[in-house]
Chain A
């Protein structure tokens, strides 16, 4: 199994003239074996502002592994609306404004939740995991 993730960042002012790019292969924790499970990409739509939408329930995944979570705010709502991402006991990670995305490691010991700040918001997400 070979799944790769490539991150690019481009702006002349950020890197002094060129784009910045890193690529990694998604491997199982501490091994050279590729990740072999995936939730697929789900799309969530919330008609009302909704708190604590569970994306990763820690009980569903093995602890201390190398899971990876992708989330993108696909809303076309007002620019100041956001999806607040939180870990564990509602510890804020950050706000995904419309069009923003994130890609983070998840070790399976804490819940990952999302809260939409306004009506009619949507986001997509997927988890690459080890079971």
Chain B
């Protein structure tokens, strides 16, 4: 990306006796000693809200922590009393009233994503199943226990990534550190559910305990009628 320049001019004829003009600008660069130009952006986008619920605009998990990311926010409302309360996780930073904007650096310090392993053992047979995260793996007629890890790893899960740790072990990692659910072998819908006709097992063991992200950028609209936030992140990998 070419040079990105961000500028701010604050001016007033009557806030101080002699008037005020403060103007600054600078090139947006990556963190670190070389300080090359920032080269990624989400683009300027808009988010409309229709309730006074809290909305997460940017997830820290999706950005590298402690870099030189920059966030732009603007309340596009024209009703003076309407505002977005901007919070970093649960810490309120400030209210963006109609027409107000903000531009600030963002640490994007993320949480710790949960991880667990599933170890497949004993004898798996045709039509034995493993169900997790809405995905069902069914063993085929010519397949044996050794095929389970391959099938599990080949599947796509909405909320987890999965990798083969060994020929009998698959490791699941949450995509979102805010997923704090306890995952264990069992019959509950959010558990890893194994159904076998014989003695096949799928033993779950948590390997990484999750810690929720505390640096997501969230907004809370002041009214339930439609409001629109304009937003962007300029970021580095």
* Chain A residues near B (Cβ < 8 Å): 1-15, 20, 22, 24-25, 27, 29-32, 34-36, 38, 40-41, 64-70, 72, 78-80, 82, 84-85, 87-89, 91-97, 99-107, 109-110, 126, 128
> Is there contact, CB below 8 Å, between A91 and B91?
yes
> Is there contact, CB below 8 Å, between B95 and A105?
yes
> Is there contact, CB below 8 Å, between A7 and B15?
no
Closest to A106 in B: B94
> Is there contact, CB below 8 Å, between A35 and B93?
no
Q: A27-B80, A87-B88 are in contact. Are A4 and B104 (CB under 8 A)?
A: no
> Is there contact, CB below 8 Å, between B33 and A78?
yes
Give chain B residues whose Cβ lies under 8 Å from the Cβ of A68: 94, 100
Q: A5-B101, A30-B83, A94-B104 are in contact. Are A103 and B8 (CB under 8 A)?
A: yes
Give chain A residues whose Cβ lies under 8 Å from the Cβ of B16: 38, 40
Answer yes or no: B186 CB below 8 A from chain A CBs.
no
Answer yes or no: B237 CB below 8 A from chain A CBs.
no
Cα A14 to Cα B4 in complex, Å, equals 8
Answer yes or no: B231 CB below 8 A from chain A CBs.
no
Closest to B105 in A: A94
Give chain A residues whose Cβ lies under 8 Å from the Cβ of B91: 87-89, 91, 110
> Is there contact, CB below 8 Å, between B99 and A79?
no
Main secondary structure of the interface of B (DSSP, over half): strand
> Is there contact, CB below 8 Å, between B103 and A93?
no
B26, B66, B86, B109: the one within 8 Å of A99 (CB): B26
> Is there contact, CB below 8 Å, between B68 and A97?
yes
> Is there contact, CB below 8 Å, between B12 and A11?
no
> Is there contact, CB below 8 Å, between A85 and B8?
no
B11, B24, B86: the one within 8 Å of A105 (CB): B86
> Is there contact, CB below 8 Å, between A92 and B107?
yes
How many B residues face the partner with a CB closer than 8 A?
Answer: 66
> Is there contact, CB below 8 Å, between A30 and B97?
yes
> Is there contact, CB below 8 Å, between A93 and B105?
yes
> Is there contact, CB below 8 Å, between A8 and B83?
no
Additional A-B contact list (6), CB under 8 Å, known A32-B80, A87-B93, A93-B105: A7-B6, A7-B103, A66-B100, A70-B8, A92-B88, A93-B104
Answer yes or no: B10 CB below 8 A from chain A CBs.
yes
Q: A79-B32, A89-B91, A97-B31 are in contact. Are A103 and B104 (CB under 8 A)?
A: yes
> Is there contact, CB below 8 Å, between A97 and B29?
yes
Cα A94 to Cα B14 in complex, Å, equals 32
Cα A5 to Cα B1 in complex, Å, equals 27
> Is there contact, CB below 8 Å, between A41 and B22?
yes
Cα A121 to Cα B93 in complex, Å, equals 25
